[in-house]
Structures are given as C-alpha cells and as structure tokens.
Amino acid sequence: MGRLFGTDGVRGVANADLTAELALGLSVAAAHVLGEAGSFEGHRPVAVVGRDPRASGEFLEAAVVAGLASAGVDVLRVGVLPTPAVAYLTGALGADLGVMLSASHNAMPDNGIKFLARGGHKLDDALEDRIESVYEEHRTGAPWDRPTGAGVGRVKSYDEGLDQYVAHLVGVLPNRLEGLKIVLDEAHGAAARVSPEAFTRAGAEIVTIGAEPDGLNINDGCGSTHLDLLKAAVVEHGAHFGIAHDGDADRCLAVDHTGSEVDGDQIMAVLAIALRERGVLRQDTLVATVMSNLGLKLAMEREGITLVQTAVGDRYVLENMKEHGFALGGEQSGHVIALDHATTGDGTLTGLLLAARVAQTGRSLQELASVMERLPQVLINVPDVDKSRVGTSVPLASAVSDAEAELGSTGRVLLRPSGTEPLVRVMVEAADIEQARSVAGRLADAVKSALG
C-alpha cells in the first residue's frame, strides 16, 4: 500500500478511503507509538480531539475517541473548532497529543485525520511512518496490548475551549480594531463561531457570510477557495476589507475595499513589515515556499527583509522557522504562521493581525498590500496522472528545460505533485501574462502526455 500520511495528515473520501476502521486503528497506533517514544512517561495520557463541521466528522470522531480510550488515553472532546484552536488547546491544557478531523479546503465528501504532538506541534515524518507501520502490523494480525478495568481511557466534553482560544487570540493583538468594518467569510466551516467572536471582542464591526454550517455545505461556493461572494459583500456593505477562511480555518485570504484579492504573499509582506517595525521579526527574515510569487522576494529585498524559501508545504516552512528561530512564515495560499503566538497556520489570527495593522496605520489594505507587485502567475492543476513520476520522466524534464530557456531570467517554472490530491500542479511566472499562459498550457499538455 502507498503511504497513508500525506503532507497534511491522512486524507481521503470519508467512508470510502477514510473509514471508521482506519480512523480507529490509526488512533490506537498513535497512542502506542507516542507511548513508546516516552511521551506518556509516568502519567496517564490525555488527548484533545476536535473536528470541522463535516457530517462525516461525527462518526470519524467517534472512531478516534474509541481508539484512543481503548488504548488507555483520556479524551477531551472540544467539538467543532479550527485546527489551530485544537493545536493551541493541546498545548495550553498540557495534553499529550491532539487529533483534528478535517479535510481543510477539500470538498465536503473528503475528510482527514491530523495528529499533533505534545505542545500542539505537527508530528515529524519519522513518527508518522512509525504510526503507519504499527497500524499495518496490527491490522494484519498482531493483537494489541489492551488495558482493562480502570486502565481504559475516560471521555468527556471540554466546552470551555472556544472561549479559551478566543481570549488567547484577542490577547496577543498589538492594538484594537475599533473603527473597522470587516466582512468575514467562514466557509461554513470550523471558524463559524470562533472568528466572528474574536473580531467582535477585538472591537471591529463585522458582517458574516458562510457562517451557517450544516455538515454538508463546508467550502461550497464560499471561503478562501471561492472569493466571489466575499468580494461582492465587501463592496455592497462598504466595508474596509474582507477576510476569508477555509474549512478548518488554518488559512486566511483577504479582499480590499474595492473587491480585489489580497493573497497570502501580500498578507505576509504586510505582516513582515509590521513585525519588523515592532522589532519582533527575528533576524528580519520571512520564510515562504518556492510557490510564492517572485514579487514577494523583490518587495522584501526593497524593504531590507530576507526571504528564505522552502519546499512546498507548511510543515517545511514550520521546520525552517523552528530550526532558525524565525517569527513569521507561510504560503501563498494564505497559510500563515506567527510562531510567537501559534504552533501552526492560524487563519483567524492572521486576519486579526492584518486588521490590527490597518487600524494602527490608518491606511487601507489596498495601500498596505501595494508594497508588493504580483508578477503574472499561472497555475494549472493536471488531474488523473501518475504524480509519482514527476521527477523521473525524461520527456517532461526536456519540456521544463525548454520552458525555462524561453522565460530566461524574467520568469520561472515549477512542477510539483499535490500532497493531498491525485494531480500535478504546473506553475509558471513571467513578466507577461500571455506568455505565462502559453508556457503553462504547453507544460500541462506535456504532463498529461508524459504521465497520463
């Protein structure tokens, strides 16, 4: 079988790829592996379990809770909360692990399981591999060592989590948000209660859309993957700007007062300058991935801020930040990590920090974001191809080489397999949009031909 864990936990169609049996088995395996690693040394282990509002999260949560409790782990069920809230509470409550059930920005039929280590940090690859191998070993016959009697885990709801998390978010802001009118698009997702509460407590006047999750409508035509509703609402309500989250609210994109998109690169540019002014952008460095627009690098150079680029995936951004002690990093998708206040990307926190900068400067988001000029960038997702052969196909390498020669120093090409879906992403940047489209179209055709 292929590796279960992708770049962001285990993900797939709920009740087809991601079954109750798999969720239960992985949870038992995670408890055993973390116990072996010494995480539970000398005390009774505790896990925080949360989910987004997907209908399938209800039965998957039940399976995860059953698996953990059967392995002797006490469980605190925090209910529907954003991924970063589960990470925060895992750390704040001194829990031994956290589990989040969400497929983030994916469509409703998908779901996922993300395990978090003590402190609310993502598990490293070695631990994930170990969990997978232990799960597989026991799935094929080796019996688990199961506690009985008083040794089984106890399960209880922890309803204070939302207030605790919101208080944390509002408490880390450098200034309040009075005078701002902001539209919030919650993607009918995990932040539908958290985000409006946090912005209101911080002093903003808010208008909410996409804040009525029913288990089936998550990410459906709204949120950070579908910005049209937010753009229209910002203009209609005469708001200063709008904020959009994805299903599990670890991302944030924005829309300025004219209805124009402000992407993750621009948000990082604005926040990097704000943190540097406050003297908290450690080593005057921002961490982003190779998917970030060339315009971000040019803007940071002009501002005297170093841009470090990593492989694609927030885990690689986070690893680099932790290794070198950097304070800010993220992805163009709006997954922004403010490491002084969060252990993972936090869309609500990102939106609040962006709003705080607008309130503090008195300048519009459009003006603040104009520090960075986005070079034309075309991204094409090529589905139904063998993404494992991206790095080994000779014809594809030749096509990439030809494209790079054509673009010269005025642009760049990036091909990468998706970490969560069966597709290859083709990204082309160029000084001219028509050239970018032309080159990207030819490369997409080459991917289909070589890997189809």
The H-or-E segment that residue 423 falls in is strand 423-429
Residue-level pLDDT at 2: 55
Q: Which of 254, 355, 261, 264 is nearest to 314 (CA)?
A: 264
449 carries an active-site annotation:
no
Does 102 show up as a binding residue in the annotation? no
Q: Pick left, alpha or beta for residue 14 (phi over 0 → left; psi -120 to 50 → alpha; otherwise beta).
A: beta
C-alpha–C-alpha distance, residues 392 and 255, integer Å: 40
Residue-level pLDDT at 440: 95
* 8 A C-beta contact, residue 177 and residue 203: yes
Q: What is the pLDDT of residues 353-404, one digit of tens each?
A: 999 999 999 999 999 999 998 889 899 999 988 888 888 888 899 999 999 9
Query: Domain-by-domain residue ranges, the chain?
Result: 5-160, 178-369, 377-451
Residue-level pLDDT at 389: 86
Q: Which of 12, 11, 9 is nearest to 30 (CA)?
A: 9
Between the alpha carbon of residue 222 and those of residues 186, 212, 213, 423, the distances in Å are 8, 11, 11, 23
Domain 178-369: top CATH class? alpha beta
Contacts of 46 (CB under 8 A, 6+ apart): 73, 74, 75, 76, 93, 94, 95, 96
Between the alpha carbon of residue 340 and those of residues 61, 269, 400, 410, 419, the distances in Å are 30, 17, 39, 36, 27
Does 246 show up as a binding residue in the annotation? yes
Residue-level pLDDT at 1: 42
C-alpha–C-alpha distance, residues 316 and 135, integer Å: 25
Q: What is the pLDDT of residues 95-120, one digit of tens each?
A: 999 999 999 999 999 999 999 999 99
* Same fold for the pair 5-160 and 377-451: no
Q: What is the pLDDT along the chain (452 residues), one digit of tens a residue?
A: 457 887 778 999 999 999 999 999 999 999 999 998 777 878 899 999 999 999 999 999 999 999 999 999 999 999 999 999 999 999 999 999 999 999 999 999 999 999 999 999 988 889 999 999 999 999 887 788 899 999 999 999 999 999 999 999 999 999 999 999 999 999 999 999 999 999 999 999 999 999 999 999 999 999 999 999 999 999 999 999 999 999 999 999 999 999 999 999 999 999 999 999 999 999 999 999 988 998 898 899 999 999 999 998 888 999 999 999 999 999 999 999 999 999 999 999 999 999 999 999 999 999 999 999 888 989 999 998 888 888 888 889 999 999 999 988 778 898 988 877 778 999 999 888 999 999 999 999 999 988 88
CATH topology of domain 377-451: TATA-Binding Protein (3.30.310)
Give CA angle at 206 (201, 211), nearest 5°: 100
* 8 A C-beta contact, residue 436 and residue 392: no
- 423: buried, middle or exposed (CB in 10 Å: 19+, 13-18, 0-12)? middle
CATH number (3.40.120.10, 3.40.50.300, 3.20.10.10, 1.10.3720.10) of 5-160 reads: 3.40.120.10
* 8 A C-beta contact, residue 275 and residue 357: no
* 8 A C-beta contact, residue 251 and residue 334: yes
C-alpha–C-alpha distance, residues 420 and 320, integer Å: 21
Q: Exactly one of 27, 56, 102, 104 is catalytic; name it.
A: 104
Length reported for the chain: 452
Does 185 show up as a binding residue in the annotation? no
C-alpha–C-alpha distance, residues 123 and 439, integer Å: 38
Supply 277's token pair: 């002014």
- 145: buried, middle or exposed (CB in 10 Å: 19+, 13-18, 0-12)? exposed
Does 438 show up as a binding residue in the annotation? no
